[in-house]
Amino acid sequence: MTSPVVLSGQGLTMRFGGLTAMAEVDFELHRGEILGIIGPNGAGKSTLLNIITGIYLPSSGEVKLEGEVLNGLSPHKIVGRGIARTFQSSRLFPDLSVLDNVIIGRHSQTKSGVFDAIFRRGRANRELAESAAIAEDLLKAVSRDLFEQRHRPSGELPQADRRRLEIARALASQPKVLLLDEPSSGMDDNDTDALMDDIRGLCAAQPDLSLMIIEHDMRLIAALPQRVMVLDYGQKLADGPFEEVSLIPRVQEAYLGKKAVQNA
Amino acid sequence: MSTVAKTGAPAASFSLTSLLIVVACELIGAAALREFLLVDDWRVIVGLLVVFAIILVAMQRFPAVEHRIEDAFDTQKPAAMVLAIIIVLGFPFTLEGNTYAFHLCVIAQLYAVLALALNFQLGSANIPNFASGASYGIGAYVSALLALNVGLSFWLALPAAAIAATVAGFLLGLPSMRTRDSYLALVTIAFGVVVNQLLNNLDFTGGPNGLVGIPVPELFGHSFSSPLVIFGVSLPSQANFYYLSALLVAISILFAGRLHNSRVGLAWNALRADELAARCQGINTTWYKVLAFAVDAFLAGFAGTIYAFYVGFISPDNFTFLTSVTIMTMVIAGGMDNILGVIVGAFLLTLLPEKLRVFSDYRILFFGVTVIAFLMIRPQGIFPQRLRRYGER
Amino acid sequence: MADLLLQQLLNWVVLGSIYALIAVGFSLLFGVLNIIHFSHGDVSLVAPFLALGAIQALASSFPAASGSLAVLLLCLLLSILLTGLLGVVLEFLVIRRFRNAPVMMALVATVALGIVLRELVRHLFPNGSNPHSFPRFVGGHIELAGVTIPLFSLVAVVCAVLAVAGLFFILNKTRLGLQIRAVSQDRDAARLMSISPTRIFRATFFVASAIGAVGGVFFAGYANLVRFDFSIDVGLIGFSAAVVGGLGSMPGAIIGSLLIAGLDTFVQAVVPNGASYRLVFIFLLVIAVLVFKPSGLFGRTVVEKV
């Protein structure tokens, strides 16, 4: 890849008491690139995301965003630096409206505090109206249907729409890097196809946005990311285009088991 | 859901009906309140309560009616506000000089402020706080001590006490950073008990007897202990405090509304719904939690000061764990994060025990039973939370 | 000097045992139902009133038998059983409705329930607003290693130990205990294993309330007095002990109780005018512990699956 590295990790290790969830993992994400992350359950994929977003403090190793070290920063500050994520279980704010969910995503890009809200009403209102307009545009871009439902409580949405909303909310913070944690989980083939189209559209609209996608759905992995990283037992097994990586015996073993590979 | 046509006759008739609904609701509410305050016969009171309960049950059964009323108030907001202000200003004139009724109004309004203050934490952010009584008490004591020992006037003691209470709120908020739910509840309970016990035992706070002889405020030569003469009508001296506390309620409503419809209110709601997800949207949840404590304490401090100068004497018994529980119940029963609901809850829970004095001894029992019954029958509160709207509908 | 020290140590252990009996109930109920049953303290302190009522009823019907130790113990036992049943009744009438309610709501509901219980005691018990004397049901002293120990204290501690040991036995060695632990870990999965959560909740309420009743009865005996509003203090302290130890942890509840009882005894003995300030110290301790260990000393820190 010729574009610069926007996000990187060196020697990332995560220990929980006696359990080593991640061991010496390195990775690089280039600008505009889609990096897939695959591996069996418990391989440490979500751990990696949690380390990057500051939810976990790595036992050792560094995460750098455009050269600046992120270690030790609290999650809310990391969002401000330009990393946004979605969750495997779509953690929306269920009793708030669809639109409110996206507006909250704008939190790191806005400034009004208590004083502004009470005494400098005009300024606070303007900022909020602006956020609302940006949020509406984001919803329209993601799905017209979702835009039409923007005043419904987000808890009432079906699964596919929840995922779209989550992505819209993540995009509201104008991130440089977007991390998607198993976006197709809970979706059937049709929904997954739609999801893939959404992501393609997103990348076309924002060519500088870099994506990391954790996935189990191999169709998605084969089609979208330019590169794929394989994790197993907290270690990186391989890194490269999917066609190459899927042929590596160790990778096949991790998914299918040793015997299956030997007998293949 | 209502559909508002953009043009034409249907819209006009909708607006007219809405206006009528608003006027009817407000006038009926005011009349009922007046009856409730003035009447002595406990049968009438129970009757009013039964009517109220029936209305609530009806709204449960026919949510369409509830929505229609809500929509009416939404579309006719300016008219609703103007009418409400007129009613509040004029209400004292309808009370026939009944000083007890005035007294109840003042107390109910102060509790409305306390409930609105707690609503930031409890309603918006879902942070349990059993120490709101303590902030109330700190406001009262600081202002009283300043007046008695340093000779500060009410108007100077007021901001000083509010600031003192806010500082205490921050001090309580800091340990809140790391604790959650039940543990946080206990920290606030502990804080409340510590404050109460210290007030009870320290000498300079007057110990269990508290402080007496707090001077009556004065404004431009008019003492608050003398009757208020407006347009030739003489209102009892309590009217002074009525208008003062009504002003504070208005300020609290302003604060509450502005904060709710702002980035801050959204952040609180987000942290209430899912704290981790909120942090991952860039919200500094620690700061917002502490902020909730501080804002609550600020308004509670104001209310405490007015209380101290109104009654003229305070003691630790006014600010106990039970006080905090009562305020919490007002928020929960009234409707979390709903300004009107919280105010109605405050009025209801202040006036009920007072008005049922005939049951005297059974008051507290009745209070407890009512609370439980309420929570079982209408858990979302009298007026539950409503979704926000931006710009057009 | 050594006598005084020993006396204080004894106070500490007895008070700690009594608090532990109540705290353990809080922790058990929280562990299983995930709510704070604020009125647990009030339920526990219904027991001494029930006992007094039973004693007085018996005294009027069988004046000859009253006053004997056996009758006294019978009344106590009866009151403990009845209190256990009271817990079940409350679960059925009120708590059941709040099983799946938001935490705040359940909290306020149980606080209100406590208020109702206290008021009911005050109204239903003759002369309820006044304090009533409560017999120290085991009198006499015993010489142990050259020290005079009131038999009551010894019995209190022994009973507390037995009750807690019994609880441990039930939880860890019986089928019921297994079911209780299953329900507390995952209610729905337990249901799939054909464990009826309702049955388990009722059983847990019975056990917790009965053990709390033992605590209530000993507290009244220790103070030689009982009044309807004692439960506010005792309940709060028991609750604090459970939280400090870590809600849901039985050993934690015991250690929390000992900590608080220790501080209580120390403050009353050493600090001038300590009796008035004991609550201040206790709750400052609570705040201090929670600041450094936000989930209590042995609380299970719930790990969120992200």
pLDDT tens figures, C91-100: 999 888 887 7
CATH top class, domain B97-364: mainly alpha
Looking at the domain assignment, is residue A161 inside a domain? Answer: no
**In sequence order, which residues have a C-beta less than 8 Å from that of residue B295 and are 6 or more positions away?**
A114, B117, B120, B169, B255, B259
pLDDT in tens, B175-195: 777 887 778 888 898 999 999
Asked if residue A111 and residue A56 are part of one domain, the reply reads: no
Q: How far is A256 from chain C (nearest CA, A)?
A: 26
Q: Are strands A210-214 and A60-65 parallel, antiparallel or unpaired?
A: unpaired
Kindly tell me if the per-residue pLDDT of B365 is higher than 80. Answer: yes
Confidence (pLDDT) at B5: 42
Asked if residue A234 and residue A195 are part of one domain, the reply reads: yes
- Asked which of A131, A156, A181 is the last residue of a domain, the reply is A156
Q: Which residue has the higher pLDDT, C276 or B28?
A: B28
Domain count, chain A: 2
Asked if residue A258 and residue A173 are part of one domain, the reply reads: yes
Asked if residue A53 and residue A11 are part of one domain, the reply reads: yes
Asked if residue A102 and residue A73 are part of one domain, the reply reads: no
Kindly tell me if the per-residue pLDDT of B392 is higher than 60. Answer: no
pLDDT in tens, C177-214: 888 888 877 777 878 887 788 888 899 999 999 999 99
Instruction: Give me the total of CB pairs closer than 8 Å, taking one residue from chain A and one from chain B.
Output: 109
Chain B residues inside the 8 Å CB shell of C36 = 182, 185
Question: Using the 8-state DSSP alphabet, how is residue A4 labeled?
Answer: P
Asked if residue A100 and residue A65 are part of one domain, the reply reads: no
* Contact: C306, B375; criterion CB under 8 Å: no
Return the closest-CA partner of residue B259 out of B115, B125, B393, B156: B125
Chain A residues inside the 8 Å CB shell of C306 = 46, 50, 55, 87
Kindly tell me if the per-residue pLDDT of B161 is higher than 80. Answer: yes
Q: Helix B132-145 and helix B181-201: axis angle, to 10°? A: 30
**Is residue A216 within 8 Å of residue A38, measured between CB atoms?**
yes
User: How large is the average pLDDT for residues B285-313?
Assistant: 92
Looking at the domain assignment, is residue A181 inside a domain? Answer: yes
Q: What CATH number does domain C2-292 carry, 3.30.420, 1.10.760, 1.10.10, 1.10.3470? A: 1.10.3470
Nearest CA in chain B to A77: B282
Q: Helix B321-334 and helix C103-124: axis angle, to 10°? A: 120
Asked if the C-beta of C2 comes within 8 angstroms of chain A's C-beta atoms, the answer is no
- Residues A62/A65/A70/A76 CA torsion (nearest 10 deg): -140
Report the C-alpha gap between A256 and A39 in whole angstroms. Answer: 11
Nearest CA in chain B to A80: B282
Asked if residue A181 and residue A86 are part of one domain, the reply reads: yes
Kindly indicate whether the ipTM for this predicted assembly is greater than 0.85, answering yes or no. yes
Nearest CA in chain C to B177: C291
Q: How far is A147 from chain B (nearest CA, A)?
A: 13
Q: Where in chain B is the domain with CATH 1.10.3470?
A: 97-364
What are the backbone angles phi and psi of residue B349, rounded to the nearest 5°?
-75, -15
Return the CATH number at A208: 3.40.50.300
* Contact: B190, C287; criterion CB under 8 Å: yes
- Asked which of A108, A130, A156 is the last residue of a domain, the reply is A156
Confidence (pLDDT) at B249: 94
Other Cβ atoms closer than 10 A to B260: 23
Kindly tell me if the per-residue pLDDT of B352 is higher than 70. Answer: yes
* Contact: A151, B273; criterion CB under 8 Å: no
Q: How confident is the model at residue B6 (pLDDT cuts 50, 70, 90)?
A: very low
Kindly tell me if the per-residue pLDDT of B375 is higher than 90. Answer: no
Kindly tell me if the per-residue pLDDT of C66 is higher than 70. Answer: no
Chain A residues inside the 8 Å CB shell of B266 = 96, 100, 103-104, 107
Q: How far is B115 from chain C (nearest CA, A)?
A: 15
Return the closest-CA partner of residue B163 out of B137, B199, B126, B138: B138
Asked if residue A239 and residue A147 are part of one domain, the reply reads: no
> What residues make up the domain containing A114?
93-156
Average pLDDT of the residues of chain C: 86
Q: Which residue has the higher pLDDT, C15 or C35?
A: C15
Kindly tell me if the per-residue pLDDT of C268 is higher than 60. Answer: yes
Report the C-alpha gap between B113 and B111 in whole angstroms. Answer: 5
Confidence (pLDDT) at B213: 87
Question: Using the 8-state DSSP alphabet, how is residue B211 labeled?
Answer: B
Chain C residues inside the 8 Å CB shell of B329 = 108, 112
Confidence (pLDDT) at B7: 47
User: Which residue in B255, B266, B280 is closest to A79 by CB distance?
Assistant: B280
Return the closest-CA partner of residue B217 out of B325, B300, B305: B305
User: How large is the average pLDDT for residues C64-77?
Assistant: 78
- Asked which of A129, A156, A183 is the last residue of a domain, the reply is A156
pLDDT by position in tens, chain A (length 264): 578 999 999 999 999 888 888 999 999 999 999 999 998 887 888 899 999 999 999 999 999 999 899 988 999 999 999 999 999 888 999 989 999 999 999 999 998 888 888 898 889 999 999 999 999 999 998 888 889 988 999 999 988 889 999 999 999 999 999 999 999 888 888 889 999 999 999 999 899 999 999 998 888 998 999 999 999 888 888 888 988 888 888 888 777 666 666 775
Confidence (pLDDT) at B393: 30
Distance of alpha carbon C170 from its chain centroid, rounded? 17
Confidence (pLDDT) at B4: 44
* Contact: C287, B175; criterion CB under 8 Å: yes
Q: How far is B282 from chain A (nearest CA, A)?
A: 4
Other Cβ atoms closer than 10 A to B231: 5
Q: How confident is the model at residue B358 (pLDDT cuts 50, 70, 90)?
A: low
Q: Which residue has the higher pLDDT, A167 or B55?
A: A167
Looking at the domain assignment, is residue A239 inside a domain? Answer: yes
User: How large is the average pLDDT for residues B209-215?
Assistant: 88
Which whole-number Å values give the CA distances from B27 to B83, B90, B235, in the listed order? 9, 12, 22
User: How large is the average pLDDT for residues C29-42?
Assistant: 84
* Contact: B372, C109; criterion CB under 8 Å: yes
Three-state SS for C147? strand
Asked if the C-beta of A88 comes within 8 angstroms of chain B's C-beta atoms, the answer is no
Asked if the C-beta of C306 comes within 8 angstroms of chain A's C-beta atoms, the answer is yes
**In sequence order, which residues have a C-beta less than 8 Å from that of residue A139 and are 6 or more positions away?**
A98, A99, A102, A146, A147, A150, A165, A168
Annotated domain spans of chain C: 2-292
Asked if residue A186 and residue A196 are part of one domain, the reply reads: yes
* Contact: B375, C283; criterion CB under 8 Å: no
**In sequence order, which residues have a C-beta less than 8 Å from that of residue A178 and are 6 or more positions away?**
A84, A85, A86, A167, A170, A171, A209, A210, A211, A212
Q: How far is B230 from chain A (nearest CA, A)?
A: 32
**Is residue A102 within 8 Å of residue A142, measured between CB atoms?**
no
Q: Read off the amino acid at residue B364.
A: I
Chain C residues inside the 8 Å CB shell of B182 = 30, 36, 103, 107, 243, 247
Nearest CA in chain C to B368: C112
